[in-house]
């Protein structure tokens, strides 16, 4: 009896291997690992934002609209709970990505405003934060591209015969991926640079009700 049971078990293992179970399992783990790295990098960016906002506020407190926008976008992104089940829920996945995209845009607006404040750009603490943010944005781009590649391979396996039968039997589901528009956006990491030597750097008009630009730079405003 034991011999028969052993033979049946061995046959089952061979059958599962032939139907792609091992490949599905490995690719599923690869997708989870890639996604975990994406989430870690997003969180790293979120952790930088409070210090960044406080530093900017010290030089540009009148830019309340932009500062509040960054803070609210961060809160919205952090309010979405990231669980293993998120990768099996396309709607929640897209909500999470949309929130992160809004945070990216809010940070972009903040960095453009910073161009009006040379003293802020020369602040060592700000420059350290800028360097960390730039590195984090690069890591986000890399980790997201790795996730895209991992999901593409996994989804092909889930949809292909005969591994699709194994996928249905053991509950392997198609994973959500970034949209084409998102893929184009993340192909190149955002540039976060505050090099004051760059000629022709764009300047943003002061916000309504704010102090004149020359007054912000520590010079008396011309009348």
Confidence (pTM): 0.74
Written as tens digits, the pLDDT of the chain (223 aa) is 555 554 444 444 444 445 689 999 999 999 999 999 999 999 999 999 999 999 999 999 999 999 999 999 999 999 999 988 899 999 999 999 999 999 999 999 999 999 999 999 999 999 999 999 999 999 999 999 999 999 999 999 999 999 999 999 999 999 999 875 544 444 444 444 444 343 333 333 444 444 444 444 444 444 4
pLDDT the model gives residue 1: 56
CB atoms inside a 10 Å sphere around CB 100: 22
Tell me the domains of the chain and their CATH numbers. 21-195 (1.20.1440.20)
Task: Report CA-CA distances (Å) from 209 to 61, 63, 205, 206, 217.
Answer: 12, 10, 11, 8, 16
pLDDT the model gives residue 207: 42
**What residues have CB less than 8 Å from 196, skipping those under 6 apart?**
118, 121, 122
pLDDT the model gives residue 20: 86
pLDDT the model gives residue 14: 43
């Amino acid at each position: 009896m034991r011999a028969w049971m052993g033979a049946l078990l061995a046959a089952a293992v061979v059958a599962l291997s032939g139907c792609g179970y091992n490949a599905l399992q490995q690719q599923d783990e690869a997708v989870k690992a890639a996604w975990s790295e994406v989430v870690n990098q997003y969180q790293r960016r979120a952790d930088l934002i409070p210090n960044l906002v406080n530093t900017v506020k010290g030089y540009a407190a009148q830019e309340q609209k932009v500062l509040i926008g960054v803070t609210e976008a961060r809160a919205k992104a952090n309010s979405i709970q990231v669980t293993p089940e998120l990768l099996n829920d396309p709607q929640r996945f897209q909500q999470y990505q949309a929130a992160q995209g809004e945070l990216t845009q809010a940070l972009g607006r903040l960095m453009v405003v910073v161009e009006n404040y040379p003293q802020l750009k020369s602040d060592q603490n700000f420059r350290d934060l800028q360097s960390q943010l730039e590195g984090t944005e690069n890591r986000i781009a890399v980790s997201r591209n790795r996730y895209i590649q991992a999901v593409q391979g996994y989804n092909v396996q889930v949809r292909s015969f005969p591994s699709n039968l194994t996928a249905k039997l053991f509950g392997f589901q198609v994973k959500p991926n970034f949209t084409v528009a998102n893929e184009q956006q993340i192909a190149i990491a955002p540039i976060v640079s505050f090099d004051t030597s760059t000629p022709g750097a764009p300047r943003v008009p002061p916000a309504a009700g704010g102090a004149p630009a020359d007054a912000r730079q520590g010079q008396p405003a011309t009348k």
